[in-house]
Structure 1
Amino acid sequence: MFDQTRKVLVFALVQSTEKEGLGSDIYSVNLDGTDLRPLVTHERPNVFYASPSLDPAGDHLYVHRRSAEGDLRQPTVARTEDSIERIDLRTRERRTILTDAAEPTLSPDGKTLLFVHLSRGDQDGLWTSAADGSSAGPLLKTRDSFVFQQAPRFSPSGRQVVVSAAGHLVNRAGRRLDAPATAGGRSAHLGIQSEVFVAPAEGTALRSLATLSDDVVPTWSPDGTRIAFIVLGTFVVVSQADGAVQLSQRMPLLYGDPVWLR
């Protein structure tokens, strides 16, 4: 993501150090590659900081913090704790504002957080809260739910949100529906269909823009008319109005988190 000047890139970097071991940190760097500096560093092994989001003034940084205990190669054995932290970049004061929460993104006006809520380690839907973590609750007012969601993002106007989600379930009669087993004849995330969805910021509706063979990290164009993502080595740009593909180009990256420069 950019800072408020759109001249500084803020990103997560996975690395292993002799002192802190394996983890991920948050860095900033100028677009010309100068002034690379750490903003948040992991304090012990198996602590991962990700999903940085800055407030409009650039004074506070919101991050997802995941700490893991046990062998990460055995997910059924390892225990993780997820939270959203707010860091004052002027004083370096750090405060946990939400627990059982991941992948935060802040609205353009700096008043609302959008995030993935967790329940006993499992995803429990998209939620919103005030910027200080108060008044947290589900975003969607519809009957839709999902097996997996990632990378929710506010549009530049703050009026819409986009999210990558797998296993779309629609409960119209008070019961859970089975998700489809495949997507387009190809194996998808957990063997279920993955899609890019757009919803109004009030959560009153939901529409699918693209059906994909894997999960993606969608990003809005600065004018809010297009959404870009990378899926299995293809860079794709679609219209947010109707999902029409405006660009589809092969590239030497299977996945990525694209950023619009202009």
Structure 2
Amino acid sequence: MSYVFIVLLIVACSGGQKPTAPAGKAGDFSDLFGLFGGFENSEEEEDETAEEEAETDSTSSEGGPDLIVQSPSVSDSMLTPEQAFTLHANVHNQGDEQAAATMLHYYRSNNATITSLDTEVGTDAIGTLAASDSSVVSIALTAPTGGGPGVYFYGACVDSVNGESNTDNNCSSAVRITVSGQDTDTSSDGTSLFDAFDAISSESPSIGSIETRLLTSSGRGPRWSSDGQRIAFYSSRNGWWDVYSIDADGTNEIRLTTHETGEAAPTWSPDGFRIAFTSYRDGYDGHQSIHIMDSDGTNETRLTENDRHDTSPTWSPDGRRIAYVSQLREDNGLRLDGDGLNSEIYVMDADGSNKTRLTQHVEDDELPTWSPDSQRIAFLSARNSPTAIYVMDADGSNKKRLTQDDRSFDPAWSPDGTSIAYSSLHAIDDGLYEIYVMDADGSNKKRLTRSEGYDISPTWSPDGERIAFVSERDGDMEIYVMDADGRNEKRLTYGAGKDGNVPGSLAWSPGPDRQRIVFERDRDEEIYIVEFVD
């Protein structure tokens, strides 16, 4: 399966059908994705998956009311025992029919997952809500004393109403408060404060982290806006994939596309005013095209219109151009896939003009990644087998192979453009994918991780001092962080399910708060933010 189509192949129409995307050449990019839970299914597994998706889509397209509790907030998150504070919540009817009056229950929890089994601290009556209406409510509370100083979590759940087909999203995410006291390292149940954070490295107690679920419904492919204030993603909650955006605190969710096709892979322009994405506007038996819209979903424009799949739109850091991958149908001597396709890299102006082909080879060229100065593009190619990382000028000239290893993936430029982090398999070492870093010209390669599991998907912190990555060293795919030189590795997530295992689903906040990472957890297509402190 071709690397750039991993995310887009899950697009499903309202009838539960999957689009048929061109397959990659076996032995090139496909091997990496079979390592973690099987990115490629057998025909029997695909049939079962299609049946399950058909059932899911059938349920989600029934209509009716659909109540959710959008991420709560508190008037003050740093409190002393018995100090008064206010908990706010927003009950929203995202369905297409009126919701009857119901009750909202407020809860306190010792962890970041709010359920009706937590300690109830109050209730509110919610009146009838028309489709798309909301009710903003609040309750006055006092900081707890019985559990001692430490960390507590608050949220709310709304009772389901008649006609509501989806009741799995009736509880909110959690908001955290910290109650100070003599023992500031103790949580509400008497354990370590970092245990309450549910994420602490066994190597050092100097870093703690906390996960917060961003959405009450499913979502995939999270991408930060350039100021770190909003996150774009795509979701099939309405029976087909559409693009959404939401504030980083889980409020102000907006559905940006409403077509009964499949829209996916949103990516923000560097100025934060526009979003590029891919679409199956020609139907799932047709091809994907690249579109652009304002960040509020208006002024949508189609940028590519070909008899081929155009995917992976990637903005240049200066915002002037978009690189993308096009799967061509050719007979000019290039070796083609079984369905007659070959992936090549193109670039165009941000308005869709001046399309230029940058690569032309018998093997697939994919995953274009801009340098911070917009002058060069790193990419993957199997042109000399095995898959390696290459770099070229932004006009396609001066192509150079940077890695000579068994297989290399996931090129990530450092913020200053002097280095590239990547994952690579060295059979002569331990036969596992590990994280490496090299100078931008391919020199001075250095291995950063040495674990008994696969380490992949490196992403730099905005200041270039750290690298986050995904590892299965502890038996599951979890997110870790380390210094840029490979020292001080810390585990950040401990959740059930694979964290950040879909390529590109792990991203560091670019805003002033640089201690946040957004990621996708595959358990229920969930999007989380993990915050950590030193």
Alignment TM-score, normalising by the size of structure 1: 0.70
Tell me the equivalent position of 1:63. Answer: 324
> Cα offset for 1:22?
6.7
User: Does 1:248 find its partner at 2:492?
Assistant: yes
Counterpart-to-counterpart distance in 2, 1:99 and 1:108: 24
* Equivalent residues, number: 226
Counterpart-to-counterpart distance in 1, 2:470 and 2:286: 26
Tell me the equivalent position of 2:269. Answer: 3
> Cα offset for 1:108?
0.9
Counterpart-to-counterpart distance in 2, 1:93 and 1:60: 10
- CA shift in 2, pair 1:43/1:224, >3 Å: same
> Cα offset for 1:129?
1.3
Counterpart-to-counterpart distance in 2, 1:39 and 1:210: 42
Cα root mean square deviation, aligned: 3.4
Of 464, 475, 481, which aligns to 1:224?
A: 464
Tell me the equivalent position of 1:108. Answer: 372
Tell me the equivalent position of 1:165. Answer: 424
What SS class does the counterpart of residue 199 from structure 1 fall into? strand
Alignment of 1:75-154 (within 5 A): 77=338, 80-100=341-361, 101-119=365-383, 122-139=385-402, 145-154=404-413
Structure number, greater radius of gyration: 2
Aligned residue identity for 1:21: D
Counterpart-to-counterpart distance in 1, 2:406 and 2:276: 27
- Give the conservation status (yes or no) of the 8 Å contact 2:293–2:301: no
- The structure with the greater share of residues assigned to helix is 2
Counterpart-to-counterpart distance in 2, 1:131 and 1:42: 22
> Cα offset for 1:253?
3.6
Counterpart-to-counterpart distance in 2, 1:25 and 1:233: 32
Of 224, 234, 239, which aligns to 2:478?
A: 234
Aligned residue identity for 2:326: R
Counterpart-to-counterpart distance in 1, 2:305 and 2:434: 32
- Give the conservation status (yes or no) of the 8 Å contact 1:25–1:38: no
- Give the conservation status (yes or no) of the 8 Å contact 1:20–1:44: no
User: Does 1:260 find its partner at 2:526?
Assistant: no
Identity of aligned residues (%): 20
- Give the conservation status (yes or no) of the 8 Å contact 2:409–2:424: yes
> Cα offset for 1:161?
0.5
- CA shift in 2, pair 1:41/1:235, >3 Å: farther
- CA shift in 2, pair 1:109/1:18, >3 Å: closer
- The structure with the greater share of residues assigned to strand is 1
Counterpart-to-counterpart distance in 2, 1:222 and 1:86: 25
- CA shift in 2, pair 1:107/1:98, >3 Å: same
- Give the conservation status (yes or no) of the 8 Å contact 2:387–2:408: no
> Cα offset for 1:80?
4.2
Counterpart-to-counterpart distance in 1, 2:321 and 2:386: 26
Counterpart-to-counterpart distance in 2, 1:94 and 1:38: 16
Structure 2 residue runs of 5 or longer lacking an equivalent are: 1-266, 331-336, 512-534
Can you list the C-alpha shifts for 1:162-182, whole angstroms capped at 9, x where unaligned? 11222x2xxxxxxxxx545xx
- CA shift in 2, pair 1:53/1:19, >3 Å: closer
- Give the conservation status (yes or no) of the 8 Å contact 1:108–1:154: yes
> Cα offset for 1:201?
1.2
Can you list the C-alpha shifts for 1:62-108, whole angstroms capped at 9, x where unaligned? 12334589xxxxxx855541211102122433221112422111111
Alignment TM-score, normalising by the size of structure 2: 0.37
> Cα offset for 1:61?
0.4
Tell me the equivalent position of 2:156. Answer: none
Counterpart-to-counterpart distance in 2, 1:44 and 1:109: 33
Counterpart-to-counterpart distance in 2, 1:11 and 1:113: 18
Structure 1 residue runs of 5 or longer lacking an equivalent are: 70-75, 169-177, 184-191
- CA shift in 2, pair 1:250/1:80, >3 Å: farther
